[in-house]
């Protein structure tokens, strides 16, 4: 990466982000400066129960000034507005900074998608990509030992089959391959699952035979190290998953359920295809645990470590 600042949007005002952020910066010192966009008042109030010392914070108002890498540079946003307005304002400032080229490292805290997006977008990934006029994106849940990526993201199951096609599979696999080659300097070994149980179907049209297999064949001709389709109920067995860097599935829970079972919070959500590296910790706002000092900061720590290299 580089020593540009890590830009962070706190996300949902009523969430565990303040807690996991403070725990993360206390866990270790990061080389990259940090610019945090959120309410300073919320940050202090939500961490008071376990953080008795003053945080090393400076309010950041001038984008042209030198960024202090020994302090938390906070752009203070009034949280007394409607939560939706508050989150939108945080994102707008972040997008301005990213478009100016001040940094290419971006993290957003967890957000209640249903409340913020009002079903206008499938998720925050799609919301951000739309703001940068990017259509070809992929979701990668990354762990250094094994990552996963769904071809479709936050779609209801009844809509999945209509959105599985050769073009989408081809584009997303190429994004994953490019990410591993350029960012991680590795030629990734990729497995792809079938859509149907055991890659079989009682219907005349079998997506595994008609869509996924031809896609794999075409990708192999592009020198992509890919195999499949594999049955989703066995590919995550240890002897199988250890052969691959990435397992690509057809829908969200097909691959996110096993990866979260295996690694819990030790994974990060990276959006591929954007003109900057965007990461979100792999968990939600968890409003019921705000102020309880019981939230696990591992995913945010991994996000910061990834961008700090």
Q: Which domains does the chain have, with CATH numbers?
A: 1-134+274-309 (3.40.718.10), 139-265 (3.40.718.10)
Q: Compare 141 and 66 and report the one with higher pLDDT.
A: 141
Query: Which residue(s) pair with 192 in the sheet?
Result: 248
Dist. CA 8–CA 121, nearest whole Å: 21
Inter-residue contact 246 to 190 (CB < 8 Å): yes
Given strand 277-281, what is the order of strands in its sheet?
A: 57-59, 72-76, 34-38, 6-9, 105-108, 277-281, 268-272, 138-142, 147-150, 246-249, 190-193, 226-230
Query: How do residues 65-110 score in pLDDT, each as one tens digit?
Result: 767 778 889 999 988 878 999 999 999 999 999 999 999 999 999 9
Q: What is the mean pLDDT of residues 13-22?
A: 90
Which two three-digit tokens encode residue 8?
């962070």
Instruction: Give the Cβ contact number of residue 86 at 10 Å.
Output: 22
- The predicted pLDDT at position 59 comes to 83
Dist. CA 305–CA 29, nearest whole Å: 10
Q: What is the mean pLDDT of residues 144-169?
A: 94
Inter-residue long-range contacts of 25-29, CB under 8 Å, 24+ positions, other chains counted: 25/72, 27/297, 27/301, 28/301
Inter-residue contact 93 to 37 (CB < 8 Å): yes
Span of 162-166, 184-188, 211-215, 295-299 with lowest mean pLDDT: 295-299
Phi and psi (nearest 5°) for 7? Answer: -95, 130
- The predicted pLDDT at position 118 comes to 81
Tell me the average pLDDT of the chain: 91
CA angle 143, 281, 81 (to 5 degrees): 170
Query: How do residues 105-139 score in pLDDT, each as one tens digit?
Result: 999 999 988 889 888 888 899 999 999 999 999 99
Instruction: Give the Cβ contact number of residue 297 at 10 Å.
Output: 21
Task: pLDDT band for 272, please (50, 70, 90 cuts).
Answer: very high
Dist. CA 182–CA 282, nearest whole Å: 23
Classify residue 121 as exposed, middle or buried by CB count within 10 Å of its CB (0-12, 13-18, 19+): middle
Our separate counts of H helices and E strands in the chain read 12, 12
Dist. CA 215–CA 230, nearest whole Å: 14
- The predicted pLDDT at position 53 comes to 64
Task: pLDDT band for 57, please (50, 70, 90 cuts).
Answer: confident
Span of 3-17, 74-88, 191-205 with lowest mean pLDDT: 191-205
Q: Is the pLDDT of residue 178 over 90?
A: yes
- The predicted pLDDT at position 50 comes to 67
Q: What is the mean pLDDT of residues 47-65?
A: 74
Q: What is the mean pLDDT of residues 253-258?
A: 96
Inter-residue contact 305 to 270 (CB < 8 Å): no
Q: Compare 51 and 87 and report the one with higher pLDDT.
A: 87
């Amino acid at each position: 990466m580089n020593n540009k600042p890590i830009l962070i949007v706190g996300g949902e005002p009523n969430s565990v982000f303040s807690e996991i952020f403070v725990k993360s910066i206390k866990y270790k010192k990061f080389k990259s400066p940090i610019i945090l966009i959120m309410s300073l008042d919320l940050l202090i109030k939500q961490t008071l129960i376990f953080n008795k010392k003053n945080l090393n914070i400076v309010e950041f108002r001038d984008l042209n000034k030198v960024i202090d890498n020994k302090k938390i540079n906070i752009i203070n946003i009034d949280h007394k507005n409607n939560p939706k307005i508050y989150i939108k304002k945080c994102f707008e400032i972040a997008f301005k900074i990213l478009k100016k080229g001040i940094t290419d490292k971006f993290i957003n805290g967890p957000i209640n998608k249903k409340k913020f997006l009002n079903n206008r977008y499938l998720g925050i990934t799609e919301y951000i990509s739309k703001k940068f006029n990017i259509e070809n994106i992929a979701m990668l849940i990354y762990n250094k030992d094994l990552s996963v990526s769904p071809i479709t993201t936050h779609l209801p199951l009844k809509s999945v089959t209509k959105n599985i096609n050769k073009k989408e599979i081809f584009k997303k696999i190429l994004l994953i391959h490019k990410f591993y080659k350029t960012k991680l300097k590795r030629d990734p070994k990729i497995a792809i699952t079938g859509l149907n149980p055991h890659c079989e179907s009682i219907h005349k049209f079998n997506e595994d035979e008609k869509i996924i297999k031809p896609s794999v064949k075409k990708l192999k001709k592009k020198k992509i190290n890919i195999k499949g389709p594999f049955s989703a109920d066995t590919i995550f067995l240890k002897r199988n998953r250890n052969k691959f860097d990435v397992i690509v599935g057809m829908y969200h829970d097909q691959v996110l359920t096993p990866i979260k079972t295996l690694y819990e919070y030790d994974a990060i959500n990276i959006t591929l295809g954007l003109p900057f590296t965007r990461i979100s910790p792999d968990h939600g706002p968890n409003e019921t645990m705000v102020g309880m000092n019981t939230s696990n900061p591992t995913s945010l720590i991994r996000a910061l470590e990834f961008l700090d290299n």
